[in-house]
Amino acid sequence: MTARDWLVAAVLVAPLIGVAASSFAPRALLTRVALAVAASVGIAAVALAVVALAHPDHREIGRWIVVDPAGGLLLGVIGLVGLASALVSPQFLEGRGGTLFREDHADRIYWVTFFAFLAVLLAVPLAGNLGAAWLAIEATTAASALLVGFSGRARALEAGWKYLILTSLGLGIALLGILMLESAAGGGGGIELLTWRSLPHASLDPKVTIIAYVLLLAGLAAKIGWAPVHNWLPDAHSEAPAPVSALLSAALLPAVLLVAWRSEQALAPTIGARTAGGVLVGFGLVSLGVAVPFLWRPQAWKRLLAYSSLEHMGVIALGVGFGGPLAMAGVVVHIAGHALAKALGFYSATPLLGHEPRASGHSVGGIARTQPALGASVGISLGALAGLPPSPLFVSEVLIVAGGFQVGRPWTASAAAVLLALGFLGLAHALIDTVAGKARRRDRDFAPGLRSVTSLTVVTTALLLTLTVAALWLPGSAIVEGLMRGLG
């Protein structure tokens, strides 16, 4: 086995060790054990990401396992956000109210489910074929639904239930698309037919393939949260525990989007690159169009972040759909930048809700006036998500729009630019109001868990600025060339 194989094994096994360790650790040691395992999961995932991104030409494309730059990017994102979510989880658990589970077992069940979710989430970018990717995605639904409904409150039950039913039905439709693909290839080849390495070279019936592709993407859209099948997203993101919301938005959505991206690359030789990309561009534009009006409304903090997820998944869909070198560079930066900024936003929710409980259901103003450090965290997150320079998301959005012009889709790129500008204005308004607007009278000192969020803010800011610099170097790099090649 090579070093890369050992890392793959570590990434897949370490979270399962987390499940076992959290199940049996003595109660007094539970948090420490969980954090230690989360650190090892994060280190393994980031190490494999570095290896995959540092050697974009040296890809490992097997029947069950794939290690490539696109998967590496997602592994890095999941590893980092998973670790950060674990680090802020003790603060959430200390301040939590009721729970869906027996009170004396709740913390243990939280950690067991957290690691189970992480295990299947990490398997998504590593899956070497469409069938295994579907299985991993479906399994993320089971684990994450329990986490969404963890508080056991009526609103959390509603959010968890909607998420479970809508995404399961959506994935059923995606599975129908996969079966159609198998059928379009003539069947009989077992799993090899559905591997990322075989699909681009398979002799598929184009008429059936295009229907299969649309069904597959429509089903995955329900999980990615693309409009118009995004109904669960604002509810689940706003009702889940903050560390889980961060994982859902920053890691799960783009990980599932990666499967849509791989499918587009794998089926483009059969149905045509323009058609394959066009479906993604359609989802991207509709998602942007649906998200913008909600970004203009005063929203509860986590709900605002959820609608921002809808916008950003739309932007990434546009970039993947355009598919040119500039757009691909933009996609890489956007996935990483969105993950960092969005995770910070959700982590800030724990101290924010402690400081201003109304924030769970209403927009809040003037946080920096009563809690300057919290105001900084909220402001950096929202500023970066809005695409305010020097945010890397500003660079990535420029690259993606330019990429649209580069591949000969000027009207779509122009429409995207207008929608992005409108989205920017909406979020900029929210930024000013939330951070520096009129403040209510609050208890100035109370903001639970602020110290760890402040530390994460410093790290996130440094990473965001580094990403902005890297974004300028990325177009034309070997990483982007590797992404353009796909897995065929």
Contact partners, residue 410, CB within 8 Å, separation at least 6: 404
Choice between 3 and 165, CB closer to another protein: 165
Choice between 291 and 326, CB closer to another protein: 291
Quick check: 164 binds another protein (CB under 8 A)? yes
Measured in whole angstroms, the distance separating CA 165 from the mean position of its chain's CA atoms is 20
Choice between 165 and 458, CB closer to another protein: 165
Binding mask 193-222 for another protein (x = CB under 8 A): -x----------x-xx--xx----------
Quick check: 175 binds another protein (CB under 8 A)? yes
Question: Smallest distance, Å, CB 101 to another protein?
Answer: 8
The only residue of 18, 131, 365, 375 in contact with another protein, by rule CB under 8 A: 131
Binding mask 81-120 for another protein (x = CB under 8 A): -------------------x--------------------
Choice between 212 and 380, CB closer to another protein: 212
Quick check: 301 binds another protein (CB under 8 A)? no
Quick check: 11 binds another protein (CB under 8 A)? no
The only residue of 190, 372, 389, 476 in contact with another protein, by rule CB under 8 A: 190
For the chain, the C-alpha Rg in angstroms (whole number) is: 21
The only residue of 138, 269, 296, 373 in contact with another protein, by rule CB under 8 A: 138
Which part of the chain contacts another protein (CB under 8 A), choosing from 21-29, 174-182, 439-447, 457-465?
Answer: 174-182
Quick check: 161 binds another protein (CB under 8 A)? yes
Q: 66 forms bridges with which residues in the sheet? A: 61
Quick check: 139 binds another protein (CB under 8 A)? yes
Q: With beta carbons less than 8 A apart as the criterion, state whether 419 and 286 touch.
A: no
- Closest by CA position to 298, among listed 380, 373, 234, 361: 361
The only residue of 142, 273, 436, 439 in contact with another protein, by rule CB under 8 A: 142
Binding mask 320-359 for another protein (x = CB under 8 A): ----------------------------------------
Question: Smallest distance, Å, CB 357 to another protein?
Answer: 16
Helical pair 273-296 and 253-271, crossing angle rounded to 10 deg: 150
Question: Smallest distance, Å, CB 211 to another protein?
Answer: 6
- Residue whose structure tokens are 């948090």: 31
Quick check: 145 binds another protein (CB under 8 A)? yes
Binding mask 56-85 for another protein (x = CB under 8 A): ------------------------------
The only residue of 162, 230, 262, 355 in contact with another protein, by rule CB under 8 A: 162
The only residue of 11, 146, 281, 364 in contact with another protein, by rule CB under 8 A: 146
Rounded to whole angstroms, the Cα distance separating 197 from 178 reads 16
Quick check: 141 binds another protein (CB under 8 A)? yes
Name the site residues for another protein (rule: CB under 8 A). Answer: 100, 131-132, 134-135, 138-139, 141-142, 145-146, 149, 152, 154-155, 157-162, 164-165, 168-169, 172-173, 175-176, 179-180, 182-184, 186-191, 194, 205, 207-208, 211-212, 234-235, 238-239, 294, 297-300, 303, 361-362
